[in-house]
Structure 1
Amino acid sequence: MADIADFANDLVQERIDQALAARNAAKPALAAHSFLFCEGCEEPIPEARRLAQVGCTQCVSCQAITDVWEARHAR
């Protein structure tokens, strides 16, 4: 049986989902081409990565850190 805390959690999750959707909708579309330099560390992005992952904006190391951070905060 659901109690008031369950309803509150559902409401908070709904508001978070709405806020994230609005934030993602406001982001500019990614460029059709990959960046030459990582937007995280400003090091050159290797050509192989730019060709394999069209539209990439980060080097492999920075992307891995971003993926871990997003996975931890997606809960």
Structure 2
Amino acid sequence: MTDDIDRAQAREAEMLSDALHNQAHRAGLSGKTPADSAEFCQARGCGEEIPDARRQKVPGVQFCVACQARREKRGNR
């Protein structure tokens, strides 16, 4: 039983990694590093600090989560 759970967790981690890679590729962030990320949100009028964890997970990120969600809702990437 534990083996099935371990395999399921490993597969889940693999799928998450693939999804993050695909999202970065679609957003044009392939090959970027956390150093390419903005420390503060670049959206006009926001300036919210972008957490280091987000900068590590989404190399090249320029917007905070809230502003990125608004941009995606409008169709901007």
TM-score norm. by structure 1 comes to 0.50
Aligned: 1:45 with 2:44: no
Tell me the CA shift for residue 70 of structure 1.
0.7
Where do residues 1-75 of structure 1 align in structure 2 (5 Å cutoff)? 32=33, 33-40=36-43, 41-70=46-75
Tell me the CA shift for residue 49 of structure 1.
0.3
Q: Relative contact order: is structure 1 or structure 2 higher (C-alpha 8 Å, sep ≥ 6)?
A: 2
Structure 1, unpaired ranges of 5+ = 1-30
Tell me the CA shift for residue 52 of structure 1.
0.2
Query: Deviation above 4 Å: which 4+ runs of structure 1?
Result: none
Count of residue pairs brought into register by the alignment = 41
Tell me the CA shift for residue 37 of structure 1.
0.3
TM-score norm. by structure 2 comes to 0.49
Greater C-alpha Rg: 1
Structure 2, unpaired ranges of 5+ = 1-31
Identity of aligned residues (%): 39
**Root-mean-square deviation over aligned CA pairs:** 1.7
